[in-house]
Amino acid sequence: MNSTERPRLSVRSPADLVAAVPYLLGFHPEDSVVVVAVRGRRVVFAARGDLPEPGADPGPAARHLAQVVARQDADAATVIGYGPAARVTGTVDAVGEALDEVGLIVLDALRVTDGRWWSYLCEEPTCCPAEGTPYDPAASRVSAAAVFAGQVALPDRAALAAQVSPFGGPVRLAMRSATVRARRRLAVLTGEPPGGPSPGGTASDGRPAGGTPADATRSGDAPAARAVRAAGTAAVRAAFRRQRRGERLDDDEVAWLTVLLTHLVVRDHAWSRTDGRDADISLWTDVLRRAEPELTAAPGTLLAFAAWRSGHGALAAVALERVLAAHPDYSLAVLLDDALRRGLAPSELDGWPGAAGPAVLRRRRRRPRR
């Protein structure tokens, strides 16, 4: 789900909106239902969900989608289904009804497939013929404006997921060796055997050996913890300086950073310096793709946070999917994933990381659904 705080696109017709959706999401949707929410005359939010399987009740997913959109302080919305009528019509109807129940005006309900769009609400054959209205996104002025503004629409969601997939081949072999060196370096720093527990016994997902979240600097050997904090702060700051100068980290720098990020005090320092800048997204994308599998939780979650802050909700979602597939109990990823699914505004996390931050999200998770 995407906040659309990006260069403005002028949308004056259903064809313009259909052309704009891929740039709002970051990819061309297929077998999907999309809700584009507006406040006044401005698009403020775009949310996408998969079409339900044939025969499945679209109601629960429709109500969830409507609740997410209602949290955006929108006035109205347009529903767009992508796919054949047999799968789209019932879902679009259910989403429209759910939006009406939460007090949003449904401006239009469209179906898009095979280069044509249909309106479920327009009955005027001169503007909405029964055979659908053809459109060419490549020829649209909206598409041209989006490309000129630097926005990208990938072919599909799989192409977006590929942007956060791990590197293989020689890159993976080089990173494996670099990570062995980084673990040895950390062992010298902490006095622990290579690959053994870190200060405070924190595991690779940021949990101590006993499984309870804790900050490595709050337990264990104090000198070792201070050494980790100092090394982590230096590594994070160096990484941001290099990235913002347009320089790519070498293998040893990435490996050292990923090993240190397993300590929550280091991860939280990195988090405090991460915003929605393009450089932040580029840094954490590169680190995530090069990190060894057991060390992906922190860089993947930091990428998701940066993408979310910048309005690239779809990128945040695929980053979190990768993290949670390998580290399902990584608490920060779980909280961010829940926030994205509920349409929580990124501004809700202003001031994070802080002691109250996770508690705020947990309280919001316990709020009853409207």
Q: Using one digit for the tens of pLDDT, what is the confidence trace for 55-75?
A: 999 999 999 999 999 988 899
Q: Is 81 within 8 Å of 51 (Cβ atoms)?
A: yes
Answer whether residue 275 shows pLDDT above 80.
Answer: yes
Tell me which architecture the domain covering 2-154 has in CATH: 3-Layer(aba) Sandwich (3.40)
The pLDDT of residue 28: 92
Give the residue, 148 or 289, on which the prediction is more confident. 289
Average pLDDT over residues 358-366: 48
CA-nearest of 216, 33, 207 to 109 is 33
Q: Is 76 exposed, middle or buried (0-12, 13-18, 19+ CB in 10 A)?
A: middle
Predicted confidence (pLDDT) per residue in 147-185, tens digit = 656 677 888 999 999 999 999 999 999 999 999 999 999
Length of the chain: 370
Cβ proximity of 230 and 262 under 8 Å? no
Q: According to the 3-state scheme, what is the secondary structure of the chain?
A: CEECCCCCCCCCCHHHHHHHHHHHHCECCCCEEEEEEEECCEEEEEEEEECCCCCCCCHHHHHHHHHHHHCCCCCEEEEEEECCHHHHHHHHHHHHHHHHHCCCEEEEEEEEECCEEEECCCCCCCCCCCCCEECCHHHCHHHHHHHHCCCCCECCHHHHHHCCCCCCHHHHHHHHHHHHHHHHHHHHHHCCCCCCCCHHHECCCCCECCCCCCCHHHCCCHHHHHHHHHHHHHHHHHHHHHHHCCCCCCHHHHHHHHHHCCCHHHHHHHHHCCCCCHHHHHHHHHHHHHCCHHHCHHHHHHHHHHHHHHCCHHHHHHHHHHHHHHCCCCHHHHHHHHHHHCCCCHHHHCCCCCCCHHHHHHHHHCCCCC
Q: Which of 36-50, 98-112, 209-223 has the lowest average pLDDT?
A: 209-223
Rounded Cα gap, residues 131 and 321, in angstroms: 39
How many CA atoms within 13 Å lie on the side-chain side of 184?
Answer: 7
Residues of the chain with CATH 3.40.140.10: 2-154
Q: Are 111 and 117 in contact (CB under 8 A)?
A: yes
Mean of per-residue pLDDT scores for the chain: 84
On the question of pLDDT at 204 being above 50, the answer is no
- Would you state the pLDDT for residue 126? 84
pLDDT at 342: 85
pLDDT at 7 > cutoff 70? no
Per cent of the chain over pLDDT 70 is 81
Reported as a single tens digit per residue, the pLDDT across 134-147 is: 988 777 777 766 66
Please compute the mean of the pLDDT values over residues 84-98 and round it to a whole number: 96
Q: What percent of the chain has pLDDT over 90?
A: 59
